[in-house]
Amino acid sequence: MLGGSSLKICLTINSSPWSAFKGGGQLAVHHLACALSAKGHDVHALYSKHPDEKIEVEVPYQVHWAQHHDFATVNLNIFSYPKVLAPLARKEKFDVIHGNAEEAFGVGNIAARTKAAYVFTSHAPNIPNTGMLGGMLQPIQFLKSVNTYLLRQAMMEADRVVAFSRFSRDLIIKGLGNSKEVEVIPPGIESSWFEVERNPVDSNRILFWGRIEEEKGLPELFIALKKVTEKITDLKLTLAGEGNRLQEYKTRVADLGLAANVEFSNWLSDRELKSLAGRSRFGVFPSRIESFGLSVVEAMAAGLPVIAARGGAIPENIEEDVTGRLVPVNDPDALAEAILSLLEDQQSAENRAKAAKKAVREKFAWEKAADRMLELYQSIT
pLDDT 10s digits, 51-67: 888 888 889 999 999 99
Quote the CA–CA distance of 36 and 296 in Å, as a whole number.
25
> Do 182 and 196 belong together in one domain?
no
Quote the CA–CA distance of 154 and 108 in Å, as a whole number.
7
For residue 30, the domain's CATH number is 3.40.50.2000
Q: Which residue has the higher pLDDT, 17 or 147?
A: 147
pLDDT of residue 127: 87
Q: Which residue has the higher pLDDT, 250 or 52?
A: 250
pLDDT of residue 374: 97
> Do 264 and 372 belong together in one domain?
no
Of 72-86, 319-333, 337-351, which range is least confident? 72-86
> Do 228 and 346 belong together in one domain?
yes
> Do 126 and 197 belong together in one domain?
no
The yes-or-no verdict on residue 22 having pLDDT over 60 is no
pLDDT of residue 54: 84
- The whole-number average pLDDT for the span 38-49 is 94
Contact partners, residue 31, CB within 8 Å, separation at least 6: 187, 188, 190, 366
pLDDT band of 70, cuts 50, 70, 90:
confident
> Do 114 and 141 belong together in one domain?
yes
> Do 200 and 152 belong together in one domain?
no
Contact at 8 Å (CB) between 118 and 159? yes
The yes-or-no verdict on residue 49 having pLDDT over 60 is yes
Q: Give the model confidence (pLDDT) of 122-181 as tens digits.
A: 988 788 888 877 877 777 677 778 888 899 999 999 999 999 999 999 999 999 987 788
SS3 51: coil
Average pLDDT over the chain, rounded to an integer: 91
- The whole-number average pLDDT for the span 15-40 is 77
The yes-or-no verdict on residue 1 having pLDDT over 50 is no
Contact at 8 Å (CB) between 7 and 378? yes
Q: Which residue has the higher pLDDT, 145 or 191?
A: 191
Q: Give the model confidence (pLDDT) of 336-349 as tens digits.
A: 999 999 999 989 99
pLDDT band of 23, cuts 50, 70, 90:
low
Of 43-57, 107-121, 218-232, which range is least confident? 43-57
> Do 163 and 208 belong together in one domain?
no
Q: What is the pTM of this model?
A: 0.88
> Do 109 and 223 belong together in one domain?
no
Contact partners, residue 369, CB within 8 Å, separation at least 6: 32, 35, 185, 186, 187, 188
Query: How many C-beta neighbours within 10 Å does residue 89 have?
Result: 21
pLDDT band of 50, cuts 50, 70, 90:
confident
Contact at 8 Å (CB) between 125 and 311? no
Domain range spanning residue 164?
Answer: 2-188+365-380
- The whole-number average pLDDT for the span 115-127 is 91
> Do 117 and 168 belong together in one domain?
yes
Number of independent structural domains in the chain: 2
Using the Cα atoms of residue 309, residue 314, residue 318 and residue 324 in order, give the sign of their dihedral. negative
Quote the CA–CA distance of 235 and 193 in Å, as a whole number.
25
> Do 371 and 343 belong together in one domain?
no
The yes-or-no verdict on residue 46 having pLDDT over 70 is yes
pLDDT of residue 266: 85
pLDDT of residue 44: 97
> Do 218 and 280 belong together in one domain?
yes
> Do 34 and 171 belong together in one domain?
yes
Q: Where are the alpha helices (DSSP H) in the chain?
A: 24-38, 77-92, 107-113, 132-135, 139-144, 146-156, 166-176, 218-229, 246-255, 270-279, 294-301, 332-344, 346-363, 366-380
